[in-house]
Amino acid sequence: MAYNDVYKGKKDSIKAWVSFYTYPGTGAVNRSYNVSSITDGGSYVDVNFDTALPNDEYAAFGSSQQGSQNSGLEVGNYSTTKFRMWWSIGESSSDAPEAAAFAIGG
């Protein structure tokens, strides 16, 4: 039995999670729960939900690998159908080669 088989629908349960790879102009989902796809916008990635969340008042978190460079990761643009992740290296934006994210609450 998977984690969400027991907790599915609970207010504090994980609503979606995804592990993915990005390369300029493309993106590929490795594994996921309630994520239909990712949209690679070049300097950001939209994480698209398979089933819409009841509202946009959830928390989303992410982590990524960015090689040896100092970088930052931001998560935002929340809606019931997706959220956005974007990375910065110094003053510029860039994709991360590997990343993971999840949404909880809502």
pLDDT tens, residue by residue, 8-24? 556 668 899 999 987 66
In a domain, 34, yes or no: yes
In a domain, 86, yes or no: yes
**Parent domain of 73:** 11-105
In a domain, 67, yes or no: yes
Cα gap 13→43, rounded to integer Å: 30
Q: Determine if the pTM surpasses 0.85.
A: no
**CB burial of residue 84 (10 Å; 0-12, 13-18, 19+):** middle
- Domain tally for the chain? 1
CATH number at residue 99: 2.60.40
- 31-43 confidence digits (pLDDT tens): 999 999 999 887 7
In a domain, 40, yes or no: yes
In a domain, 2, yes or no: no
